[in-house]
Each structure stands twice: as structure tokens, then as C-alpha cells.
Chains A and B, each alone.
Chain A
């Protein structure tokens, strides 16, 4: 029995973390967020791709690493901790899982092997399946797709999109199809991209096994939620570390503010709330990889909602520990605050996810 990340998982986690510390400093993140860092962004993305994050969840028969979700969780923690400005949860977690579970043999061969060789990349839009806002949604008929999808993940510069309709059928669309209009949404979090996609008679193919039932879509969302939770855990960890280390430097009343109990207790509370979240997310990923949906889905839901709640408080307290500096753009702490804030709402905000968890357990009849 061993509960924790393996040496291999810790090692890729450390690589990503170190890489971002060296190559994505707050100044660089700021340039990217302000739209002035295209070159920097590309270098960061290429550097992390060199670690093979695109191959993690592609099965070995399609030239991937065939690793489990826990591997991706290890990476996601580091991406969150360094507010990694790269596509991940959509392109390299949800897309390969969707294709592997939902695709025909031909679709798998066609798409998965090309994800593994980094020839193509997917954006993923499933918000309308989780809960449609503004009556958005897509309709499919005669190989054409129409409608509107919101908060599509990782669609920027993608080659294909996987989009879900309200009943959980998944469609593959070419990003450059003439029937596809992509509008980048301006969200608070500028370390990743989110798009509105308008579809007017765009060519689409169904991921073959997803036409009959929505189980595959749900499984893809479980994975996405666990990864977002891991990203949030990483971002929270960074905020706690920054708060503690800032408090040890900042002096008032002739002593560092880290010696005031008011500050110490805020830090202890953050650490105490965060510590069990690592274990919860790891167990959720392990359960996703090895156990029946009946036990893994509850953990996926509760990871997403519980971690989101913990992180919301951490993002506030850690900012407060920094005093006025925490509020400035100069320090850039807000990039973590906003990343946590966005992760909370994507693929189901806590209340929505808890309601699903209640339904799973047969609570609300």
C-alpha cells in the first residue's frame, strides 16, 4: 500500500515546476496576459511539450505514454503553481480521453497518434452539457453542426474542436472550418484562453460511441474536474508559499509580520485547509484510473467542489497577508487569485457539482 505520487510522477511534476519558475516569471506572465508575449508563450509551450505532456494520456498503441490521470494530476499541480500559460486540461486531458473512450478505431488512429506526435491539438467545449448559460447549445443534423458553445477550453490555435451537445454527444469539428467563428472571451484569467464558438453549418463528425448515451461525456468531465482541482491545489500552494515568505520579509513595528499571531494563524489556517486537498485529488485520480465509476465519480465531484471552496478562502487570505502589495499588479499575485477564480466556475461551479454528487448518491428524489 502506498498513498502518494510515484517517483516518476514527482519527477515530471518537479520538471514542470522548475521549468515554469525559470521561464515564466511574473514579468513574463504579465507580458503574456497583456498580449505582448507571443514569443515567450510559444517558448514556454514548446519547453513543456518537450516533457511530453501531449503524450501522457494517449495509449501506447497510438504512440503515447499510456499513463493514468494521476500522472496528469501531478503535471496540473505544477501548472497551477506556476500559473502555466499553456493549454492542458482541454487539449491533453479531456480530448485524448474523449477520443480514446468515444472514438471508432479509425478516429482513434487518426487523432490520437497525431496528438502524440504533436501534429494536431484539440480545444474542448462541454459547458453546455454541464449547464447551458444564455441558452447556448449546438444542434447536429446531416453531418452539419449549428449553434453556439461557450467557454471552450484551449481553442486558441487549435486544429480541431471537440464539442458536446446538451445530451452529451461529442462532435469533432475542424477549427478552421468556414462555418466556425471563434471569439476569444475576455475573462479575469489571462493565463489561459476561453472561447465562444459560433457554428453555422460547420462540418462535424460524431465520436462514434458517444451517440447512444452520455456516459463517455460524463467520464471526460470527471477527468476535467479532477485536473482543474489539481491546478487549483497547485495555485493555492503557491499562494500560501508566497504569503508565508512575504510575511518573513516584511517588517512593521520593528519585527517581521510573520511573528504576529494574526498573520501566523491566517497562514496556519490556509495550510491546514489545503493539506488534505492533495490527498483528496490524488485519491480521486487513483480512483478514476482503477475503480468503478460508482466510487470514482463522487470523488471527482467532491474534489472539484471542495478544493474550489478551500482555494477561494486561500486566495483571499493569502492576498490579505501581503497587505497593500497583494492588491497591486506589480506583485502579480492576482494571476493566481484569478486562475483559482476561473477554475472554480469551469465544468461546474461548486453548487452545481455538489448537486450532481447528491444525485449520484440518490439523495434528491
Chain B
């Protein structure tokens, strides 16, 4: 065991820390409502003494410094650094420690960019990566369908190649940010004769193409903004396919694992824990600080134990990336299940300790944290269900992790 990164990283750490001190507690401004709750979800916490920076300016600065898009080549708008897991960790650690706002995320940046870098043509990379990194192109993900949720590979949205163009018909659901997006990356059944998984292609669709209808699907937070997206003879160029025909399932899966991990970032969880501790020191009941109430305090400490365990687990996973061959057993597989449940529980505790005040929401003048506790509490219930439900996660852990058999198939009804 050795948790030192080594003296060759001292200078880099110093440089990152000095940047982080400068922007500690900074507020990122945006008049765009899609980022309203971004900060709470990613664990960002600004304070009044911090600097104020515009969102796109912030994104640009982070890329320039190499604190975001670090290993993405310069010609595609990234920083162009060598991939270095330890440096990435130093950056993430310092940002969390000094409460520096994270870069913009979203499905374009988190999922499409790595997908295109791995599978895309040169033209696709040129066209989309830079504008996505800088927040100019916002993407939505067209995967789930009304009858293809946990069993995603049974999706039915149809794509036919007619006169050198893809003609797409069908419906997607749970499409977050569709209403703000310029583009969608979409899974479409193009090979109806092939087996379930081999009949899917990965296609890029501009959202202003005629025949696309977006209907908002309001979720319980009233804010997160899911949609249903309908396709009626939506026609896009043949070259909008990523990978070959029928390779869509592999293309999509090459970054799904990444999504599962990122749904419950341990650094964001730690930041929220610290915000909760501050809340408990500030708020009172009968003139007593909430943290001085033994039952509340004990629940806080129970959550802290879980947060520390998840943090330690993520250090072990980092170690396995740096030291090839290290066996971390189930360490990676459990992240989505454990991380989303923990975050839901943490946000729920904040509501409980505030009692009636904890139920205030939206623009109520007395609301605490801008309503972020209720929002995130509900949002993480969504994440417990989304990204592969936690029941599906338990199937994966028991089957792939513990070697237990799949549930036998029920015979089709005659």
C-alpha cells in the first residue's frame, strides 16, 4: 500500500492547487435553465467570496489549462495531453478539495465524445468533438423505448437505407435534454433479419430534421426534463452512422460502463456530505444546532461511514488502472448500485433533518440550498431506476460477479 503519487507529480499538484485556490467557491453563471441544478448534482458548491465566471468562458479556460478534455487530441478541440490517470486524479481531487466548479458534463461530453474518438470517422470527429466539448453542440441519447427499458436490445425504432439515406421511424423515451439538443445519438434497428443484438446501428440525427416531434415527459422533480421523441420518416445522410451496420450495440456498450460509473461520482458525494455537515451546523431546532441533536448526528455519521467506504473503493479502482493486473474483484461492478443508493440516502437525510423546512421547493423564499436537496433526492431515485435499474445491477453482480445462473426463460405464451 502506498498512496503517494510520487515526487514527479509534486510540481503538477502545486500548479493545479494554485489554480484551484484562485477559483475556490467560484460561481458559474448561465442564463440557460438546463444548467439550473447542474451544480447540486455534480456536488458543486459556490460561496459568496468566490469569483464569478460565465459558463462557456469557464469551459474554455479548463480546456486551455488541461483540467478538462485533457487527453483529447488538440485537433479535436481538446488539451492534447498524454493520458495520465494520476494527473486526472490530482485534478479531480484538488477541484473537490477547493470546491472548484466542475466542467460542463452531459451525455454529449460524457458519452458521445469517447464513442466518436473510438468509433467515429475522421469527418465525424472533426465535425462534432470540438463543438461538443465547448458546449456549442448539446446532445441527447436516443436509447430507451417504451418497450425497451431494461431489455434495451429489444428496441424497435426502425431505420431503412433508401436511396443512400437513413429513413427512421419509431419512438424513444426518457430522452433527457432533447428539447435543448442540437443532435441525438440514437440506436436504431437496421437489420431486422439479424439476431436481437446484431440488428442495431448507431446513428447521429440532427434534432431539427423534419419529422421529429418532441413531447416533454415531466418527471417527479418537475425540472430534470425528460422527453418522448417521435420519428416519422426522419431522413438523415447515410454517413451519419457510427461504426458499421449492425455494430450499434458494441458501439453503445463501449461507453455504457463509463456512464454507470459516472452516475455516482464519489467526489460529488463527498462534497454533498460536506455541504450537509455545514447545513447541520447552521440550521437549528428549538435554538439547538441540528448537529447537536444526537439522533440526527448518528444518522450523519452512518452516512459518513458509507461515503468513506465508497471513497476508499474508488482509490482501489484507481490503483487498478495504474497497476495493470491488480484484481479489484467486484469493486467496479458495484459502483452504480452502491453510489446511487448512497446519494439518495444522503440527500434524504438533509430533508429529514430540516423537517417541515425540508419540504420547501422551487422558488419558495425560505427554501434551503435553492431546493437542491429535494431535487437531488428525487433525481437520484431516477438514477436508481435509470442507467440500468439497480435490480439489473444486482443481476449483473450476481451473474458476472458471483457466477450465479441467469433466471430461466419463461416459455412464450401460446
Contact = CB atoms under 8 A, between A and B. Distances in A.
Interface of A: 1-6, 70, 244, 247-248, 255-256, 258-261, 263-265, 267-269, 271-273, 275-280, 282-283, 286, 298-299, 302, 305-306, 309, 351, 354-355, 357-358, 363-365
Given A5-B1, A256-B405, A261 B395 contact: yes
A306 B309 contact: yes
B410 interface: no
Nearest to B301: A354
Contacts of B330: 271-272, 275
B302 interface: yes
Nearest 5 interchain pairs by C-beta: A306-B305, A279-B312, A3-B319, A268-B394, A264-B398
B285 interface: no
Contacts of A70: 1
B292 interface: yes
A3 B404 contact: no
B136 interface: no
Contact of A280 (B3, B309, B393): B309
B309 A279 contact: yes
B310 interface: yes
Contact of B291 (A3, A265, A272, A364): A364
The interface centre, meaning the residue of A5, A275, A283 with most chain B CB atoms within 10 A of its CB, is A275
A275 B319 contact: no
Interface of B: 1-6, 86, 277, 291-292, 294, 297-298, 300-302, 304-306, 308-310, 312-313, 315-316, 318-319, 322-323, 326, 329-331, 334, 337-338, 391, 393-395, 397-399, 401-408
A268 B397 contact: yes
Contacts of A2: 1-2, 319, 322-323, 326
A316 B301 CA distance: 23
A364 B292 contact: yes
A260 B406 CA distance: 8
Contact of B316 (A261, A269, A279): A279
17 contacts: A4-B319, A6-B1, A248-B403, A258-B404, A268-B402, A271-B401, A275-B334, A276-B306, A276-B313, A276-B334, A286-B1, A351-B298, A354-B298, A354-B301, A358-B301, A364-B297, A365-B292
B326 A4 contact: yes
A78 B5 CA distance: 30
A271 B2 contact: no
Contacts of A351: 298
Nearest to B289: A365
B86 to A, nearest CB: 6
A183 to B, nearest CB: 34
B391 A265 contact: yes
Contacts of A255: 408
A276 B310 contact: yes
A309 B305 contact: yes
A3 B277 CA distance: 28
A299 B308 contact: yes
Contacts of B3: 1, 3, 283, 286
Contacts of B316: 3-4, 278-279, 282
B6 to A, nearest CB: 7
B338 A276 contact: yes
Contacts of B337: 268, 272
A276 B312 contact: yes
Contact of B2 (A1, A276, A280, A354): A1
Given A261-B395, A279-B313, A279-B331, 6 more contacts: A1-B2, A3-B316, A264-B395, A268-B401, A283-B315, A354-B302
Nearest to B313: A276
A193 to B, nearest CB: 29
A6 B1 CA distance: 6
Contacts of A364: 291-292, 294, 297
The interface centre, meaning the residue of B294, B397, B402 with most chain A CB atoms within 10 A of its CB, is B402
B407 A259 contact: yes
Contacts of B407: 259-261, 264
Contacts of A264: 394-395, 398-399, 402, 404, 407
The interface centre, meaning the residue of A6, A278, A365 with most chain B CB atoms within 10 A of its CB, is A278
A258 B405 contact: yes
A282 B309 CA distance: 10
A3 B338 contact: no
Contacts of A260: 407
A365 B281 CA distance: 11
The interface centre, meaning the residue of A3, A273, A282 with most chain B CB atoms within 10 A of its CB, is A3
A268 B398 contact: yes
A69 to B, nearest CB: 11
A279 B318 CA distance: 12
B309 A305 contact: no
A259 B5 CA distance: 44
A271 B319 CA distance: 20
Given A1-B318, A280-B312, A275 B1 contact: no
Contact of B5 (A1, A263, A268): A1
Contacts of B338: 272-273, 275-276
A247 B404 contact: yes
Contact of A1 (B4, B297, B393, B402): B4
A265 B397 CA distance: 9
A67 to B, nearest CB: 12
Contact of B6 (A1, A6, A263, A272): A1
A298 B393 CA distance: 31
A201 B312 CA distance: 48
B312 A269 contact: no
Contact of B302 (A247, A258, A309): A309
A302 B300 CA distance: 12
Contact of B398 (A265, A276, A357): A265
B346 to A, nearest CB: 14
B1 A363 contact: no
A259 B405 contact: yes
Contacts of B397: 268, 271-272
B389 to A, nearest CB: 12
A358 B297 contact: yes
A259 B395 CA distance: 10
Contacts of A272: 330, 334, 337-338, 394, 397
B318 A3 contact: yes
Contacts of A280: 305, 308-309, 312-313
B322 A1 contact: yes
Contacts of A355: 294, 297-298, 301
